[in-house]
Structure 1
Amino acid sequence: METKTTDYVYESVSHIENAEASRRFIANVFVWMFAALALSAACAYYFAYNKDLSSLIRNPETGANNIWGTVVMISPLIIVFLFRPGLNRLSLIGVGLMFMVFSALMGISLSSIFYNYPPELIASAFATSSIVFGVMAVGGYTTQQDLTKFGSILIMLLVGGLVATFLNLLVFRSSSFDLLISYLFVAVFVGLTAYDVQKLKRIGAGIEYGDAAGKKTAIMGALTLYLDFINLFLLLLRIFGGNRR
């Protein structure tokens, strides 16, 4: 499971009601997110089924990652933690390229799922994730209820789930408990999807989207929703596949 991003909101952003600005901002967020998912999917597919590409990151006989495969798996996590500190230093083009590089590396690292799960199971998990994500995104955008209070609860559940995962890995080693944790994480990322979309809606209503800072904020928002979707997809894939690692 991938990590969540840290808070990407500028301290000076004020949340004002500007429906048109919010719609344009959210539309751009989803354009960036869908472009990133498409790039990740293409990289995952080609690095799974093209033998020449696959051999660059894993042992052709065992399917295990070589040194370059390990580097590729770690690189997206490093980029996520560098994203916010570099946001103000990089140009808009630099931030966009950084996001696309991140998406490509994520796709390459995700190519391993094709060695662990049959294609039809991957397609089923992806379709389910898309439906659930879409429903919660629409809900988060249209609801009149303030979801702010749920954000801190969801983050605490996320941290608690990570702690439980490590304890189960090191101490309990229970497959049933592991499955329960997976369901907990699914609930967390379903909730975070609605929360993050509402948060982005409010941010979009309080910034001048046409400037570079606003466009870079849209890319950071796309990164957040991208990670929500990828985590939801991987968790459902594990559940559908009998919680295999």
Structure 2
Amino acid sequence: MANWSDPRPSAAPFGTTANKTGSTAVDAGLRSYMLSVYNYMSSGVLLTGIVALLFAWGGASSPAAQVFMGGGLLKYVIMFAPLGFVFALSFGQMRMKTSTMQMLFWAFAIVMGLSLSTIFLVYSPLAIAQAFFATAAGFAALSLYGYTTKRDLSVFGTFLIIGVVGLLVASIINMFLQSGPMGMVISAVGVLLFAGLTAYDTQRTKEMYYQVRGTDMQGRVVIMSALSLYLDFINMFLFILRLFGGNRD
């Protein structure tokens, strides 16, 4: 049976020197490619966490408290700036140099840290740590599944994306309703949706390698794939925190 997730054309018969050499080279390239994606993603998450912690350091007297509780234009700039970076990277990836995309990715991680600093004002350090390690364990397991499974997860892609859009709409509605039970349901559904997206995006990242390996697009795809997995991780973390982070300061 053909391996659907490996679109490489048939080469020499199994067991020949050509097949072993080609397979070894491709496998080594894939490992290097995936390692680059995970390095960017994990470094971005780490940078975001450090920036968020430093910006919220001092509690009620911290810069985060002054910005987000004091109101003003800066509050909204910080809140919506990450979305601007995502759009810039998504729509500009075909025109940008890899180095430009790298700088934008790191700038995005920093701005996300500023935006997420409020969690340190709302939740206890213990609740944040528990949510983070639960997310890390779940993300690792789901990403491993997406990398190793032979099942085509692309059939779930449209459903998951539609689900995220519906989740966004429900979240906006609940901003006005302020319903606790609805908020819990939104958080639970959010965890499930981004868990599915983690596996889906990992498999898609793996497949992209066979399309871009050896081209000038490979570096850009690494960054965009890292961005997708970063967003999966952060969103899953936030929904888990909202769902179980009842222990507040």
What residue in structure 1 maps to residue 83 of structure 2?
77
Among 24, 27, 35, the residue aligned to 1:19: 27
Among 226, 230, 241, the residue aligned to 1:226: 230
Greater share of helix: 2
Change (3 A) 1:137 1:64: farther
Deviation of 1:152 after TM superposition, in Å, equals 1.1
Unpaired runs of at least 5, structure 1: 1-13
Question: Matched residue of 1:205: which SS?
Answer: helix
Structure 1 segment 176-215 matched on structure 2, within 5 A: 176-209=181-214, 211-215=215-219
Aligned counterparts of 1:134 and 1:88: Cα–Cα separation in 2: 30
Contact map agreement 1:190 1:232 (CA 8 A) in 2: yes
Deviation of 1:151 after TM superposition, in Å, equals 1.0
What residue in structure 2 maps to residue 7 of structure 1?
none
Deviation of 1:165 after TM superposition, in Å, equals 2.6
Change (3 A) 1:241 1:131: same
Percentage of identical aligned residues: 36
One-letter code aligned to 2:107:
V
Aligned counterparts of 1:41 and 1:181: Cα–Cα separation in 2: 24
Return the structure number with greater relative CO, CA threshold 8 A, min gap 6. 1
2:49 equivalent to 1:41: yes
Question: Matched residue of 2:66: which SS?
Answer: coil
Deviation of 1:88 after TM superposition, in Å, equals 2.3
What residue in structure 1 maps to residue 166 of structure 2?
160
How large is the Cα RMSD of the aligned pairs?
2.4
Unpaired runs of at least 5, structure 2: 9-25
TM-score (norm 1): 0.84
Aligned counterparts of 2:207 and 2:27: Cα–Cα separation in 1: 9
Deviation of 1:74 after TM superposition, in Å, equals 1.2
Deviation of 1:50 after TM superposition, in Å, equals 5.6
Q: Which has the larger radius of gyration?
A: 2
Equivalenced residue count is 226
Aligned counterparts of 1:89 and 1:65: Cα–Cα separation in 2: 37
